[in-house]
Structure 1
Amino acid sequence: MSDKIEPFLGTWILDASENDFEQGEAPKSATLKIEDNFGMAIFSMNTVSADGEVTNDNFEAMPDGPEVKLGKSGLVDAMRLVFETDQKLVSEARRGGLTIMKATRELSDDGCTLTVTQTVHLVDVDSFTNVSVYRRAQ
């Protein structure tokens, strides 16, 4: 894996006071862990909703690698992960060749804050953007 992923690796804790959600309710707490597994970026997320429901999710992709076809999800059929800049790591979930979700992870200059801007495109409805700010765990 390129050295470009290195600054993103580690455990990130949601700063719930910095959430700005257009769609859905912002989580009460969340942890995002990004790891390197022999060239694959592994994203593990643990989220606690406002009503206390715990959700765990994960995905993996090769940064700047080819689009990966997905077979198990009913919402999307492909995903890709690319560096937009050295400080912006972007994932796109696609269905039928159209991007339906884009998540931009932007590192602060000091590498201590990760701002995740996720935009969901609902076909024939609208687009919604949720912003979450994470702080690097010490």
Structure 2
Amino acid sequence: MTEDKLAPFLGTWILDTDASDFEQGEPPKSATLKIEDNFGMAVFTMNQVAADGEVTNDTFEAMPDGPEVKLGKSGLVDAMRLVFQGDRNLVSEARRGGLTIMKADRELSEDSRTLTVTQTVHLVDVSSFTNISVYRRAQ
């Protein structure tokens, strides 16, 4: 059952900036990621304080292993998918015109205390950048 697979990912995660590695952009001063279950929908809430002090809050939701979700508000991407790859990887793909332009692979450690998010952005006609964010489970 999908909800059982989602359960280990649920909770509040705090970014470990020292363990993270950013190819693109400055790593944030701090960040939290909250993953909640809303009747089978995975709800992601991200709060981040950038290196320059700017605060960003973002939220999105998707059905794990569900159909592709069409997005209207963002001009950058027009669809998103969220899939399980095994028991410890929850992967989202943001797509535009059928092409994946951003992929975020959330990998849970064996002890479920660490969530490593490997985010790859594919820029058309340029190259790809990978940012690795390591989150620790909040107590």
- Corresponding residue number in structure 2 for 1:12: 13
Q: Output the TM-score relative to the length of structure 2.
A: 0.98
What is the aligned residue count? 138
Gaps of 5+ in 1: none
- Corresponding residue number in structure 1 for 2:27: 26
How far apart, CA to CA, are the structure 2 residues paired with 1:2 and 1:21?
31
**Structure 1 residue 2: deviation in Å?**
2.4
Gaps of 5+ in 2: none
How far apart, CA to CA, are the structure 2 residues paired with 1:85 and 1:68?
21
Measured on the aligned residues, the alpha-carbon RMSD in Å equals: 0.6
**Structure 1 residue 137: deviation in Å?**
0.3
Q: Output the TM-score relative to the length of structure 1.
A: 0.99
Q: Does 1:99 align with 2:100?
A: yes
- Corresponding residue number in structure 2 for 1:110: 111
Q: Percent of aligned positions with the same letter in both sequences?
A: 83
How far apart, CA to CA, are the structure 2 residues paired with 1:32 and 1:78?
21
After the TM superposition, list the runs of 4 or more consecutive aligned residues in structure 1 that deviate by more than 2 angstroms.
Answer: none
How far apart, CA to CA, are the structure 2 residues paired with 1:42 and 1:122?
26
Q: Secondary structure at the match of 2:57?
A: strand
Comparing 19-28 and 94-103, the one that deviates more: 19-28
- Corresponding residue number in structure 2 for 1:120: 121
- Corresponding residue number in structure 2 for 1:76: 77
Q: Secondary structure at the match of 2:65?
A: coil
How far apart, CA to CA, are the structure 2 residues paired with 1:104 and 1:44?
16
